[in-house]
Amino acid sequence: MIEVVGNIVLVGETGAGKSSIINMIAGVDIAETSNGAASCTFDHHDYTLPVHDQYFKIFDTMGLNEGDRGTVGHTAAIAKLYQFITHLDGQINLLVFCMRGPRIKDATHQNWKLFHEIMCEKKVPTVLVVTGLENEDSLDSWWWNNKENFERHDIRPDDTACITAIRGKKLGDDRYAFDDQYEESRAKVMKLILNRALLSAPRFHKTHWFYALIRPILTFFRLTKIRHRKVVRDIAAVCGLSEEETRRLREEFDKH
């Protein structure tokens, strides 16, 4: 049986390159890329994959997209959060924050806040992977040249990898335009994971974590004027909450 050493969560808006990075780690295409299918914040898929022989559960999540914040359906988002937290079993060993260079969009900033600050309470190591840099002369100087911009948005990752997550155009038999940059990028991502994923990550108590997140998440999504009773009933039904859990959820909403 495979021993899984930890959970790695990839976050970032649609198009950031999350699924491409998972395929890069896997060495084969297992995650569907360019999948713009309608989905909800906190929706996720997980893949058990080796990184230099150590197996991790890698979560491909649906982050926030530009303009989502005011429009997210709270029932669906909170129900998905519950399922996500249940699957994480209280532990994130590394948060991999993905974005497509070069512009820091509002969604980039919001995703950092939602996942690094609110969900992980700034306790989980967070690395930044910037994709789309295949045409840069030096991948690594990109970070140095843009660092100040991130600091201005209060995005301060523990480490970074500037990469390309695609091989580019096919040039001939099994040869692609960005083969070299791609291999270099893959090695960087693998190293980043092994260097930064905590072996003893902070343990969040599964249900406490969920209930503690309700209020900050409602505030984040500006979901103040909601009809509590019905929302609680809907979430309880989607998540299959027990009577006791439903009562607790109602209490959290009432405090809001």
The one among 7, 8, 9, 17 contacting ligand GDP by CB under 6 A: 17
The one among 7, 19, 110, 131 contacting Mg ion by CB under 5 A: 19
If one asks whether residue 181 binds Mg ion (CB under 5 A), the answer comes out as no
The one among 6, 8, 20, 124 contacting ligand GDP by CB under 6 A: 20
If one asks whether residue 131 binds ligand GDP (CB under 6 A), the answer comes out as yes
Closest CB to Mg ion among residues 33, 54: 33
The one among 7, 9, 11, 14 contacting ligand GDP by CB under 6 A: 14
Closest CB to ligand GDP among residues 125, 132: 132
The one among 5, 26, 30, 33 contacting ligand GDP by CB under 6 A: 33
Closest CB to Mg ion among residues 32, 179: 32
If one asks whether residue 157 binds ligand GDP (CB under 6 A), the answer comes out as no
The one among 8, 9, 11, 16 contacting ligand GDP by CB under 6 A: 16
DSSP sequence for the chain: -PPEEEEEEEE--TTSSHHHHHHHHHTS--SPSS------TT-EEEEEEEETTEEEEEEEE----TT-TTT--HHHHHHHHHHHHHHHTTB-SEEEEEEESS---HHHHHHIIIIIIIISTT-S-EEEEEE--TT-S-HHHHHHHHHHHHHHTT---SEEEE------SEEETTEETTHHHHHHHHHHHHHHHHHHS-SSPPBPPHHHHHHHHHHHHHHHTT--S--HHHHHHHHHHHHT--HHHHHHHHHHHHH-
Given the rule CB under 6 A, which residues bind ligand GDP? 12, 14-20, 33-35, 131-132, 134, 164-166
Given the rule CB under 5 A, which residues bind Mg ion? 18-19
